[in-house]
Amino acid sequence: MPEMTYSEAINAALREEMQRDPKVYILGEDVGIFGGCFGVTKGLFEEFGPGRVIDTPISETAIIGTSVGAAAAGLRPVPEIMFMDFMAVCLDEVFNQAAKMRYMFGGRAKIPMTVRTVCGAGFGAAAQHSQSLEAWFTHIPGLKVVMPSTPADAKGLLISAIRDNNPVMFIEHKVLYGTSGPVPEGEYTIPLGKADIKREGKDVTIVATSMMVHKALAAAETLAAEGIEVEIVDPRTILPLDKDTILQSVAKTGKLVIVEEAVKFGGFGGEIAAIVTEEAFDLLDAPIKRIGAPFVPVPFSPVLENAYIPSAGSIVNTVKSLG
């Protein structure tokens, strides 16, 4: 398989779906001529023109509001919200319109809208441009929430998201854009709601999302040298959540560590812990451990930001604490 960066894989998915289906279009701040804040939409304006690659005003409410209407009318918009932090500006359109229309119209309305947005710290972007707010969206029935960790997953999941008839939050991590990996050639999809085991092991299960999958893989290498084999489960889609794969892994290992970059208090990791406690408590040989960011805004200082983000070292120490 050819190597692609994470950003190239997303670009390829957008291009292929726009070529395949004329109802697919993208819109957002600087997505057109500039090619996107992170270069992800580079070249699409030149290929598809201003009618399908739309540079919008700086108004998240307008970007999502028009997308909801267009999706209800039969188009397949892929709006971009430059930073996840800015989703707060347009939550009414997401929570009270997009997520509820199909239900309130008795299933007759479809809202095939895929909102691309960017999460995560590690870029020196400070408190208003670095948050991981995915837990907000998992609390709203009617939405789907996707967090790819690899280029291959990013492409396959984005194509599935665009083809889905429900609103999807597609959350990309800014630090992952430059990472590379093998990506299957040609058209392929990954079903939403299906987890992936990124590493098999028998001693401890680690459930990690987005950038934390890579931190978990690094920790696994260190632990393997000490005779501890961890299994890493990447949910990929946190709503709907593939709880069966998680429970099967816990049944094998008897131990669970959950790693997320979001603030630990109120984070989605707590939901995973609750599911395992309620449905598989008798399979556990040790208490569930959770790793997340401290309950403070993301610091701008590089030293403090590095301390804020969960590290491979903290994962290693947590796994060892299970005995």
E strand spans, the chain: 3-5, 24-28, 53-55, 76-81, 114-119, 144-146, 168-173, 180-182, 196-199, 204-208, 230-234, 237-239, 256-263, 289-293
Say whether the peptide bond before residue 191 is cis (omega within 30 degrees of 0): no
Distance CA 228, CA 244 (A): 24
E strand spans, 174-225: 180-182, 196-199, 204-208
Distance CA 186, CA 179 (A): 20
Distance CA 99, CA 152 (A): 27
Distance CA 298, CA 250 (A): 32
Pairing of strands 196-199, 114-119: unpaired
Start-to-end C-alpha separation, the chain: 40
Residue 214 falls in the annotated catalytic set: no
Closest CA to 162 of 238, 68, 236, 78: 78
Question: Active-site residue among 129, 139, 173, 214?
Answer: 129
Indicate which residues carry an active-site annotation.
129
